[in-house]
Amino acid sequence: MLAVLSPGQGSQKPGFLTPWLDVTGTEARLRWWSALAGVDLVHLGSKADADEIKDTARTQPLLVAAALLAAEHLPMHDVALTAGHSVGELGAAALAGVLPAETAITLAGVRGREMAAACALEPTGMAAVLGGDADEVLAALDAHGLHPANRNGAGQVVAAGSVAGLDKLAAEPPAKARVIRLKVAGAFHTPYMGPAEAALAEVAAGITPARPARILLSNLDGAAVDHGREVVQRLVRQVTAPVRWDLCMRTLADLGVTGVIELPPAGTLAGLIKRDLKESGVPEIVTLNTPDDLPAARDLIARHGTAPDHEPTIRFRVVAARSAGTFKPLDGLTEGEALRAGQVIGHVATRQGQVEVTAHDSGLLTEWLAHHDDPVAPGQPLARIGGQQS
């Protein structure tokens, strides 16, 4: 099985689209998409410097446009799975057939502008926490009022929140962990982005999405989402919800993905996969950065790709905590038992009382990811549900 991945903010480099402008029709397409996004994608992709393409309002539509441009030159009908990191999810949704390319570009423009505006409301930021015990890292974030905005795999959590909280984290890092401040405009994927989520939701309400034509993974919980409206709802919610790329990579391994193409600007996601999937087996990877990489990408699809069919496929979904606290699974509920949508599977004990944890879909309780009295953070996975879909 082959997966095509769309990278997120931070992967861009000055001039990375320049080689693509020599491909017939590329510049005209970018001019059209620029009108939809409200930014000059040709300039940003070829002549803008690092500071200019670091601007959230410009970067987000640029990254989505880059992924869609490159994918136009691939035989996507033989690709079984797509996924994207953060704003890359918009590109992945378009490649999965949920959204037209023009809609994805327009949403990226709105998302970027509104997130940039939200960043200006109060001083916030982000920092990478490298190493340390995962539970201790999450506990340290919670102690300083920070959020785990990105969980990119073993040994890498991105903390986000107030500048004061980040300063405290840097002064008192978790044991065996390094804290590196990131040059970003604010606390992405946290409640600080609430105004941006609300603005994006208003625009997204007018979209008529299609059902995915191939497997599409969600950053929310690593699930393969099979309804277009749910995809759009998750895309909106992801503005304030943590990016669980670790769970997306786990689903890649669960589904037996053997080949991966990372779309431009490629390299970041490939590096995470190489590091995180060592034990389960690293798939063959092609980083597609210039038109010169297209033959290798097409060859990988020819050897690993198969068009998705309508036979039942395994669906993996993860139930995540909505609040910080202590997890208590339902007494007597064991792995392998059948669950129904809405069934209570446990509680998170918080300072304000108990918060129910429910299964959001029917299926089998395939694995507990948290156990009795484990401390959990918002967005942390608690249980994995597997089932059949047709």
Q: Hey, which residues are catalytic here? A: 86, 189
**For the chain, where are the E strands, in sequence order?**
2-6, 81-84, 124-131, 147-151, 156-162, 177-181, 215-216, 259-262, 284-287, 313-320, 325-329, 338-339, 344-350, 353-358, 363-368, 374-376, 381-389
CA 213 to CA 285: how far, in whole Å? 23
Contacts of 127 (CB under 8 A, 6+ apart): 158, 159, 160, 166, 169, 170, 179, 180, 181, 182
Residue 338 CA to residue 366 CA, distance in Å, equals: 9
List of residues 6+ apart from 199 with CB closer than 8 A:
110, 114
Of 390, 332, 322, whose CA–CA distance to 360 is shortest?
Answer: 322
Distance between CA 104 and CA 122 in Å, rounded? 28
* Helix (H/G/I), strand (E/B), else coil: 230: helix
- What tokens were used for 165? 């909280």
The rounded distance, in Å, linking the Cα atoms of 342 and 82 is 28
> What letter represents residue 82's amino acid?
T
CA torsion sign, 231 to 234 to 238 to 244? negative
Task: Identify the three-state secondary structure at position 306.
Answer: coil
Angle between helix 194-204 and 228-237 (nearest 10): 150
CA atoms within 13 A on the CB side of 347: 9
**Residue 241 DSSP one-character state:** S
